[in-house]
Structure 1
Amino acid sequence: MEFQDDAFVLGARSHGETGALVDLLTRDHGRILAYVAGGASRKMKPHLQPGSRVLADYRARTTEHLGSVRLEPVGEGASALFDDPLALQGLTAAAAVAQGALHEREPHPGAFLALEALAEALVHREVWPAVFVRYELGLLGALGFGLDLKVCAATGATTNLVWVSPRTGHAVCLEAGLPYADRLLALPAFLVSSRNPLEPGDIGKGFALTGFFLERHVFHPMDKPLPEARERLVEKLETAGLL
């Protein structure tokens, strides 16, 4: 089994004296775990940080064996964000969510594209937290748990969509949901339409929404909590006044 593919590093750990095991999200082949010869070297370590973009040249004897991979760095990767700790935490959290949510060797091109869009947005402090929420929505969709945020599940209305049903993941309009407001999840307007401006509190509502469904549909069935890196990101965003 051999292929070459674009990839993001999701994580890495030492293996032996000089090598490393790297967890990659590839564009066309999904998430793969592979051995990197020389991965423990000072030269290679910066390119194995979570969120680093690489070109992966992968080889394995069979699909059941641990393969080996040669990595060619693409762009600056995580090092471009060293002067922005909050954005760096965003990239780390995004990698951790993908690593925990995606199963190995299952192609998810939508998940790759969502992470790619987020990585490109991280240089824009005023917008990337909203893109992170959309990234998590993209992951849910790639895993078959997409939310329907365009039409009210109760009335068919396409306006005044302010809540999401925690049971169905469908939007609920103001009129239909008002009697049940304490049981519904808040739906920030920027997730209904990209034309809607961000309002104070919208990012926090977005993180609560995607976190609820990620926990229910993805992490809880695997008996895992949401990644600590994501929790730290939410705390740092709150401290920065961006929730």
Structure 2
Amino acid sequence: MDWRGQGILLSVRRHGESSAIIDVFTEEQGRHAGVVRGGTSRKIAPILQPGAQLDLSWRARLEDHIGTYQVELLRSRAAAAMGGRLALAGLNAVTALVGFSLPERESHPRLYRQTEQLLDLLGQDEIWPLAYLRWEQRLLEETGFGLDLSRCAVTGAQDGLVFVSPKSGRAVSMAGAGEWADRMLPLPPCLLGESPETDQETLQALETTGYFLETKLAPALGHKPLPEARARLIAEVRRLL
């Protein structure tokens, strides 16, 4: 069994004396692990940095074996990630959440393409938080917990949507919320695809998507806590306001 393609390196861990096991996110194969022989060597180790875009060739005797990788670096994102605190926190959050959320060998091509585009924006701090918000919305969709913000869950109205139901993930208008308004989550316009008027609005939207990551996605994966890297990213976004 073998395949070849590109992938984003999510994580690396040592395997034996000189090899490494890498976890990569690919467009067609999904999240896929494999062994890199000599992965801790001076030649290969510098290539194996989280976020790196790799050309991958995977081979195994049987499909369900972990298999081995041959890797070539297409582009490194290390310099961009080390260029600022937001970029580094962002890279860590994205790679951690992909590894946390997706089962192995399940294809998510739309999420893969959006992940690649998002990581290529590292260092552009003025636009990155909003791009990351769009990515989290996609992650929720791909994992079965997407928000339905098309119309009010109570009245059916398409205008005046200001809340998100914490139970259903559906939009709710002020009239629809009624006496339950104080129990609803905020629905900033940027969650509806509009440009945010303030950075605070983006942060508020990230608090809403974070609620569903923490209370819906994480429990579905066995009540694992969300990776701490996400909390560090949100703290960094808040610091920059």
TM normalised by structure 1 equals 0.92
- Amino acid paired to 2:115: L
State the aligned residue count: 240
> Could you say what secondary structure the match of 1:121 adopts?
coil
Overall identity of the aligned pairs, in %: 39
1:179-194, aligned counterparts within 5 Å?
179-194=179-194
Partner of 1:175: 175
CA distance 1:153–1:11, change in 2 (3 Å): same
Q: Is the 1:7–1:55 Cα contact (8 Å) retained in structure 2?
A: yes
SS at match of 2:153: coil
Counterparts of 1:102-117 in structure 2, within 5 Å, are 102-117=102-117
- Whether contact under 8 Å (1:114, 1:139) holds in the other structure is no
Is 1:14 the counterpart of 2:14? The answer is yes
Alignment of 1:53-202 (within 5 A): 53-194=53-194, 196-202=195-201
Specify the alignment match of 2:217 in structure 1. 218
In 1, the alpha carbon distance for the partners of 2:7 and 2:65 equals 20
How many angstroms does 1:216 deviate by? 2.4
Runs of 4+ in 1 over 6 A off after TM superposition: none
The 3-state SS of whatever aligns with 1:10 is strand
CA–CA separation in structure 2 for the residues paired with 1:63 and 1:219:
28
Structure 2 gaps of 5+ residues are none
Partner residue in 1 for 2:31 = 31
Instruction: Summarize the Cα distance change of 1:154–1:96 in structure 2 as closer, same or farther, 3 Å threshold.
Output: same
What per-residue deviation string (whole Å, max 9, x for no partner) do you get for residues 195-234 of structure 1? Answer: x333242222222112111122322232210101111111
Counterpart of 2:232, as a letter, is R
Per-residue deviation, 1:112: 0.6
Shift of 1:12: 0.7
- Report the Cα offset of residue 178 of structure 1: 4.4
Q: Secondary structure at the match of 1:48?
A: coil
Shift of 1:238: 1.7
Q: 1:27 & 1:239 partners in 2: Cα distance?
A: 34
Cα deviation, residue 81, structure 1: 2.7
Counterpart of 1:188, as a letter, is P
Kept in 2, the 8 Å contact 1:19–1:40? The answer is: yes
Decide whether the 8 Å contact of 2:196 with 2:202 is kept in 1. no
Normalising to structure 2: TM-score of the pair?
0.93
Unpaired segments of 5 or more residues in structure 1? none
Contact 1:161-1:192 at 8 Å conserved across structures: no
The equivalent of 2:208 in structure 1 is 209
For the residue of structure 1 that corresponds to 2:182, the secondary structure is helix
Tell me the equivalent position of 1:2: 2
